[in-house]
Every structure is written in structure tokens, then in C-alpha cells.
Structure 1
Amino acid sequence: MIRALRTTLALPLFLLLSACGGSRERADLVFVNSAEIETPDPAKATDQVSMRISESLFEGLCRNTGGKAEPAVAERWEVSEDKKRYVFHLRKDAVWSNGDPVTAHDFVWSWQRALDPKTASDYAPQLYPLVNAKAFNEGKVTDPSQIGVKALDDRTLECVLENPIPYWIDLCAFLTLSPVHRPTVEKHGDSWIKARNIIGNGPYVMGEWLIDDKIRLIKSHNYWDRDNVKMRTVEVLPISEANTALNYFLTGQADLLMDKGMVPLSLVPKLKKEDYFHTGPFLGTWFIRMNTKKPHFQDPRVRLAFAYAVDRKRIVEKITQLGEQTAFSLTPPGTGQNYQPPPGPEYNPEKARALMAEAGYPGGRGFPRVEYLHLPLPIERNIAVELQSMWQQTLGVTVNLDKKEQKIWLSAMRELSYDMCRSSWVGDYNDPNTFLEMFTIGNGNNRTGWESPAYDGFIAAAAAEGDTAKRHEIFSNAEKLLISEQAPIIPVYHYVGVQFRRANLKGVKANLIDNHPFRAMYWDPAPAR
């Protein structure tokens, strides 16, 4: 592979690099992604490493810049007085990378595709605010024309919502709501995402995709805002080993790293002093999922016992070391209009042991050996070892550690073929709903097997409530049920964003949803050509 052959000597930022015995022009921006992407399909991408690529190839009615939604394919829109009807007007110069116009019909078909149960989109619930969208996704409504989205003409899209929600425009900037090119999908089937086939409407096209080696993005000359896209080429390297990734950056072979797990733990104190190292808070939480379909995790008392046995302070001070805030809720405090979540279980070994005994496992006796699934990153390994020790010392249970690559880890969560696993969530928009809705029944991002009609009732009531204070109270009741009473998940800490970047690389700033599009990045001063 090319990565293994590259020199480790310090290099200038803009030069020609040797690759496999030949030479190729260095990309304007070389970015290290912490894993190989799962898919660039906007309807199916769920992890951050995949979404970074997909949002470079596709664009919705709105787009995110600096974490804020702004007009994109839609140049303007009107909202009805009751806040339930939106009419979007698409810009004339929005076209696909092959020159076809992007139309309102493209959005209707793409949204129906994302909601179609056959597509199996984990993010289909992002479209649930639309009338009948949830019912269609669940098979209760079979006519897609009954979904609250309609093309009034080629350049006018109407959206009708079940309830007025404060974040619909933010959702219109979310990847899942991006259109896909229908003729390409229908012609190539599952192979439509290959580099030689894929047609997008975003700022970049896929020039090359060599799995586990690199992805090369090339600026699209058909993109409506192409004059403001400064990086002509972006090369994305999937490197999961933190020391290797840092070496690429320090030797000039990469310009930007943005994944939390890519910080070599032994170097954290030193790296924090470097001017290329940047951190900033955002709406993200690291937590543990528990498979409630497993017989040994069906009792909430057992799940709560595991939660009370976790010393979060020990993890953030001993392992992560970046100033993360310990998490006793899934939703970070202050999300949205200053939502304050109820506190969940804190570290309490005595209560943990009492709950375990009450559930029939005093001192851990009789409890089966279980596995904890984690990713192959140093920080994840160290956290796993600490958790293993905490659960052994406090509960008397044996937890084996199971390390899997990202694709297998994602698959295991979807298929519920795990006992416990590390997980994380970054807010898709600045509202408590983005954290709490995913644990409703049937949500593709639930991945715990946990089902609670009472919880679903809270989430539905919050969606219908227009008063902010009352809405927050409903969310608080839901989160109390989720974290403190049923505990299918264990929040551990709220994220701090990390970037290793060159001093003259601009357009990369910490923001609440940790979104950093390549199209917004540029060099200042620009390199000589």
C-alpha cells in the first residue's frame, strides 16, 4: 500500500510525493480520517468518517458552515404562520456533477428512498417531522405520495410537518436529507457508489477510491458555489493508528487530523502546548451501549449496577486528559435553548454491589462472562482496560475485551451481536432531540434492543410541545427514564474536539456539531503554484 512506502522525513507542504515508484501531484489538502469509510451513500452513512466524504459529494437544501445552517441548493424559503409548511426555492445553477439540473423531484425521490424500509437507513428518523414519514418508514402507510414532501414544480419543494419544530432548517442541512442522482442509483444498483459511477451535487467529485489506502476528491466545476471552493484536490487517508497518523502530520505528509482517538496518550501533556494542537467543546458524548436482548442484561438493576461501577473522573483524568467533562446524562448540559438534563448514576460502588445482589448476583456469583466491544485505538483500549478493572473490582464480574475494526464494530451494533460496546454520539443539530430521539422503538440508531412505549410517548409529546420550558421538562422526564431508571446506556464523558492543523490552514474552527467541510478550508497565504 502507498502509505507504507511513504518517506518519514520532514517535507514541505506543497511538493510532489513519490507513490508506488511513480510520481503524482500532492493534493492541496491531505487529511487523515481515522478509519476506512463504510459508504458515501447519504441515506446510509452513519459514522463521522463516512459522513465527511459523503457531505463533500452531496448537498441538501441547506449546508453547514461553522456549525450553522445556511442556504445551499435552496436559495430561499418561506414558512407558514403555523410553522408547519415550508416552501423551498431551488437555485437555477444547482446541477449534478454530470451537468443534469438538481430538481425538487430529486429531493422527493431521495427522501422517499431514505424512508423506504428496504433502504434500511438508520437515519430515516431525521425525516420523521414530515407528515406520514414515520408511518411510511414503519410500513403503516404504503403510498409515498402521502409523505409531506411534494415538488410543486422543478424548482419548488413543499415540506409539510406534523408539528412545528425549531430545528427543521438544521435538519435540511443534515446529510441524510441530501438528494441522490436517481438515474445513477437505478442504473448501477448497489454499485452506484463506486468512484467510476457515482454522481453527486456537492463541492467535490470522487476521483479515486482505493479501499484501506486513500480517497481522492476533486473540486467539481459544476458546483454552484465553486468559486469559493479553494482546495482543488483533497486526499483522505484512512489511518487508525494514532502514532502513525501523528507522524504523517509532523513530517508534512498530512495537513489535518480531527479525530479524538488520534491523540497518542503518552504525548498529550506535550501536544497540548503545541501551536498546531487545538481543542474546543462540542455537542458530543462518549457512552457505553448494553445489549438488552441478552438474558444477563435484561434486568435494569444489572444495567444500573454496571453504571454505578464506572468511575468517570478516573477515565477523564487518567486517560483522555483533554479537559473532557464527566457525563451523567446523554445530552450535554446547555444543548439547544439551555436544556439542563437530570443527573444520572454517579460512581457509587456500594449501590452497584447492592443492585447486583438484588438482581441475584451477589459478588458477581452466577453472572456469566461477558464481552466489551471496542475500536482498535489506543485511547479506546486504555478505557476498555479501566472499565474491565472497575467492573471486576466492584461487581466481581469477568469482562473480556473484544477489539474490532470500525466496519465490524458498526455491524455488530446493528445486528445486536455484542454484550456491551463503546459508542458515541455527536449532535446533528443543536437540540436535545438529536440525542434522545434515537432510543425510540425501531430507530436505526438505537442499537441496544431497548424498547419503552413510555419513553416514546415522552419524545412524541416533546415534538408536539411549542413551549420551550414545557418541552425541556418532557425531555428531562424522558432522559431520567433512559439513564437513571432503565439504563440501556451508560454516559461517561462529553467530548472535546481535537484538531492538528497547519498554522496557515483556515476554515477549521471548533463548533457545536463538530462539522468541518473541506469546501470551507483554504490556505492563507495561498501556496505558490
Structure 2
Amino acid sequence: MLKKSFTWLLIVMLVLGVLTGCGQKPTATPPVEEAKGEPMVLKYNLGEDIKTLDPQLNSVINAGIVLVNTYEGLMRLDKNEKAIPGMAEKYEVSEDGTKYTFHLRDALWSDGQPVKAQDFEYAWKRALDPALASEYAFQLYYLKNGKQFNEGQANADAVGVKAVDDKTLEVTLEAPTPYFLELTAFFTLFPVRKDMVEKDPENWARNPETAVSNGPFKMTEYKMGESIVIEKNDNYYGKDRVKLDRVDMAMIVEASTALTAYEAGDIDLIDDIPNQEIERLKANDPNFVALPYLANYYYIFRLDKKPVDDVRVRKALTLAIDRKAIVENILKAGQKPATGFVPPGLFDANGKDFRETNGDFGIDPNAANIEEAKKLLAEAGFPDGKGFPEIELLYNTSESHKAIAEAIQEMWKKNLGINVSLANQEWAVFQTTLTEGNFVLGKGNWFGDYGDPMTFLDLWTSYSGKNTTGWKSPEYDKFIEEAKTTTGQERFGKMYDAEKLLMDNYIVMPIYYYTDTMLIKEYVKGWKKSILGYLYFDEVTIEK
């Protein structure tokens, strides 16, 4: 999902350069591979350059992949996305489900300093501090007074996280949260060291000298727009399961360029496949993999911009596209047409699929509803598209995003008689443009952070840092807040109501639900990619 064009020569230079990069500190018992003089190195294409590697500020997948391999939370996730002990070797929960007491294991940061409960308290309160302006602060609203602190209505001391001593962390929640343990494995809740952050508040996370970490790997090199290198962290408590010496991460933006590098043997693993190559690779490459993905692809509207300030226009644009044609003719990797915001595969308290239960909101997954779309556009004052102003659809630079945008542009022209121009921006600029609200139509995608519909629905609260539409609905906020303080099917009922309100207002235009396509060399063993989109390297081996 993040790529950058490199010339062939630059790709070769990059690979050769990182192979002679920083070495590890000597250890008492060198890894077998080092003793042989052949370090075990995985070469992976990270894609576009990252905006930040600060756990409390990051909000995107590619930087998240770096973070989940270099840091570790109180819990980590097993292959089923369930919480297992991480930095906390054990915990207790109160009978009412609102108080957790975590007991930290003996663990070290990559510079040899002990990991302390105070590091978690500092990080969580830092994420909530309004001065930091973290887009993911809302992931900590589950804490007692977390939302109040973030909104300036309480002080940090009132927040429900406290280091009792170096090894004991007490956490108090506003209400029972069934997925709280899984949330502690999410990067916003990773610990960070106060002394390192304060050395260089703006750039500490990009500098290997200050970006100390507590996970299986540590960052040893960062070259803006070129590469990131992470190396085995010999101070990690679970270092025995880590076989790789190093992961070299290139930043090749264009999927076709990355594929060329992969097929030439310069990259071992890529996870953004050019759409036009998928059928060939599916048929001919045994290393092509398509995995389930808890993720969706959609367009968003900026509600204070004409003509999309009119719900009839938003609905007309949503109904006038053929989703089946997009997934079958452009994407070709088993993606499914989207008819709601929450993807399939999440189940309510009665065991029913959330997506199937809440319906399709009038969106036909197999065809455009042209007649209804034209009727709505006429009611909005634009019969057969006459008088409709040319608007711009903005997406971040990607061959796939471009192909989808061009197809939808043509559908709107043919089915509604309107002209929509296309514009692309590099990822970092695109994120800023959306955040500032300088768009009419914008591309969006969301990858679930945990296995519950809430990970998709609380994006659209009026206080969410990820809600860049300008939509603020007290009714929607109330549904979400009530869902966070109730349990069982009542809780899911509130989430059903929230999604219905979101879709009835056509704040977002669902397009498709992802599959995760990858190419992985046959000699790369032990890799794991979660349904949430994160690659884990801690058990990978290279067996050539």
C-alpha cells in the first residue's frame, strides 16, 4: 500500500548498501549465522516512506509493521489475534471487569535498561495528552478519565493508569471492554522511554541513538525515502525464538518496480501486487498468497464542500458505481464488493455476522443502481448531470488507486453525466491534505486494529482524529459511547444503530473489502501476517 519509484541501479545499490550496514553489539554467545560469517537477512519492501515511527503518533500500516517488530506491549497477539503474555507475564481482572493489574516480567530495553511500569504509564498518558495531538488518542478513551484528559477536562493524574512500582501497573477502565487485552498489543499502547523522547521530542523515533525499543528487533538505520534496517535485539527476553539477524526494508513505491525487484531476487517479500499482474502470478507463481484481511476500501466526502454537502448527491455518487466490475476486472484477487462500512467476518453476541445482519443499505454489490442515482441527482438540482460542477477526487500515489479512480470516474461520466477530475499526492502530503479538510472527495482505507466492529465504527465520532469528513453527529457519538459501556447483544445493537446512521447519511462510500496479496520466496519460512495486516518477523528463518 506504500511504494516509491526507484531505478534498477538504485535498487541494487540499496540492497548492497544495507548488506554492509551497522553491525550488532558483540554478545557472549554469537548467533550461529554470525559464527559462519553469513548473517541471516530478510529483504522486504516497506513501500512509501513513513510519516513517523513514534508509537503514539503513528496511524498507518507500514510504520506499524516496523513498530510491532521493534516494540512489545503488555500483551502480544497469537495466530488467532488473541492476547497472550508480552511484557506482562500475568495479570488479574476485577469481578466487574473494570480494573486490571499487570505484573511485568524481567525485560530490558535495547540499550540494556529495565522496562518499567512507569514506561507504560508515561506512554499512555502521552498519547492522551492534547498537546501531542495523537490521531489515535481515542484508543485510550477506555481508560477512566481518558477522554476527559484528552479534551482538557481532567488532569493526567486522574487517568486510570498508574505504576504502583517498577513491575506493577494498575489500569482502571470506564466500563468493561471485551477486547481491552488485545488493545494492549496495539502500537499506540506500546511503552516508550521518557528520557529518550525528551532528548529530541520531534525526531527521537527516527534516530537509532534515541529510538530504543523493547521488542524482538531494534532499528539501526533509517534513511529517509530509501530504507530502514532493523536488527535482532539481543536484550529481548524472547531472543531465542528470533532467528533473523536483520531485516532490510526498502522503500519502493511503485508496485510494478517492487515486483521487478522481487523477480530479480533483490527482494524476498512484497505485499502490494500490481493489479494487472495478479492473474499471471496466481496461475504461474506457487509463492503467490492471498490472505483474508479485516479491511475496507472506500471514498469519503468533505461535508462542508459543495455539491457533496447534499446527502442526495453523496447517495447518487455511491449508488452509481459497479463494485463487481471493480473487483473482477481491476483487482482480481478475491476482493468482495462492499455494501457497508464494517467488513464481513466479525460476529455479534448471538454469533451472527455483523455485515450480513445489518444489511446492504440499498447498495447492490453486483451492479450500479443507475436509475435511483439519476433520480437523486435530479432531485438535488442536477438532472442528467446538467449544472453539476467539476469536482476532484484525491488519492495517494499508487497504481492500484489510480486504476480504481479512473474506472469510477468513467462510471460517473457514463451513468450520471458528470465530470470528476483526478489528483494524486505522495502519502505524507495526502495525509496532511485530508487532515486539514482540503478535499471534496478522498480515498480512504481502514485496517482493523482488533477483532471487533468498534475498530471501524469509532473512527466517525466527532472527536476521532481519523474523522476528516467534517461530520459531527451527537447521535452517532451517543451510540458509540453507549456501545462502549454496555455488554452482550445490547452493545452490538448500539453498533448496528451507529453504522446505520453513518450509512444513511452517506458519509462514506464503501467500495470493496480487501484480500491481502503477497509474494514470498519459498526459502522464507515461519512468517506470520495477521488479519489486521501486520507482518511479524520474530520467527522467520531463511532456508536457502
Decide: shared fold, TM above 0.5: yes
Give the alignment's TM-score, normalised by structure 2. 0.90
**Which residue of the partner structure matches residue 196 of structure 2?**
184
**Which residue of the partner structure matches residue 13 of structure 1?**
none
Counterpart of 1:251 (choices 260, 264, 267) is 264
SS in 1 for 2:494: helix
- Once the 2 structures are TM-superposed, how far is the Cα of residue 135 of structure 1 from its aligned partner? 1.2
SS in 2 for 1:422: strand
SS in 2 for 1:305: helix
Counterpart of 1:270 (choices 280, 301, 312) is 280
Summarize deviations over 1:299-334 as a string: whole Å, max 9, x none.
212111111112111100110011111110111123
Distance 1:18 1:460, change over 3 A: closer
Conserved 8 A contact 1:497-1:510: no
**Which residue of the partner structure matches residue 495 of structure 1?**
514
- Once the 2 structures are TM-superposed, how far is the Cα of residue 42 of structure 1 from its aligned partner? 0.3
Larger deviation, residues 311-320 vs 204-213: 204-213
Summarize deviations over 1:48-80 as a string: whole Å, max 9, x none.
111111222222111234333221111111111
Conserved 8 A contact 1:279-1:510: no
Q: One-letter code of the match for 1:73?
A: M
Instruction: State yes or no: 1:106 paired with 2:110.
Output: no
**Which residue of the partner structure matches residue 332 of structure 2?**
321
Distance 2:293 2:526 in 1: 17
Structure 2 unmatched ranges of 5 or more: 23-37
Conserved 8 A contact 2:273-2:518: no
CA RMSD of aligned residues (A): 2.2
Distance 1:49 1:328, change over 3 A: same
Distance 2:532 2:11 in 1: 35
Counterpart of 1:88 (choices 90, 102, 108) is 102
How many aligned positions are there?
512
**Which residue of the partner structure matches residue 79 of structure 1?**
93
Q: One-letter code of the match for 1:235?
A: D
- Once the 2 structures are TM-superposed, how far is the Cα of residue 234 of structure 1 from its aligned partner? 0.5
Larger deviation, residues 453-462 vs 186-195: 186-195
Instruction: State yes or no: 1:475 paired with 2:495.
Output: yes
Instruction: State yes or no: 1:312 paired with 2:330.
Output: no
Counterpart of 1:235 (choices 229, 248, 271) is 248
Summarize deviations over 1:16-35 as a string: whole Å, max 9, x none.
96449989988610001121
Conserved 8 A contact 2:39-2:245: no
Give the share of equivalent positions with the same residue, in percent: 37
Distance 1:214 1:291 in 2: 34
**Which residue of the partner structure matches residue 12 of structure 1?**
none
**Which residue of the partner structure matches residue 483 of structure 2?**
462
- Once the 2 structures are TM-superposed, how far is the Cα of residue 2 of structure 1 from its aligned partner? 8.6
Distance 1:457 1:299 in 2: 24
Conserved 8 A contact 1:5-1:20: no
Conserved 8 A contact 1:103-1:154: yes
**Which residue of the partner structure matches residue 344 of structure 1?**
361
SS in 2 for 1:355: helix
Give the alignment's TM-score, normalised by structure 1. 0.92
Q: One-letter code of the match for 2:481?
A: A
SS in 1 for 2:387: coil
Instruction: State yes or no: 1:155 paired with 2:167.
Output: yes
Distance 1:517 1:509, change over 3 A: closer
SS in 2 for 1:190: coil
Instruction: State yes or no: 1:145 paired with 2:165.
Output: no
Alignment of structure 1 residues 14-413 onto 2, 5 Å:
18-19=16-17, 28-66=41-79, 67-92=81-106, 94-141=107-154, 143-193=155-205, 194-258=207-271, 262-273=272-283, 274-337=285-348, 338-341=352-355, 342=358, 343-346=360-363, 347-413=368-434
Q: One-letter code of the match for 2:410?
A: S
**Which residue of the partner structure matches residue 415 of structure 1?**
436
Q: One-letter code of the match for 2:74?
A: L
Q: One-letter code of the match for 1:76?
A: K
Distance 1:522 1:301 in 2: 54
- Once the 2 structures are TM-superposed, how far is the Cα of residue 336 of structure 1 from its aligned partner? 4.1
Q: One-letter code of the match for 1:504?
A: Y
**Which residue of the partner structure matches residue 428 of structure 1?**
449
Distance 1:26 1:162, change over 3 A: same
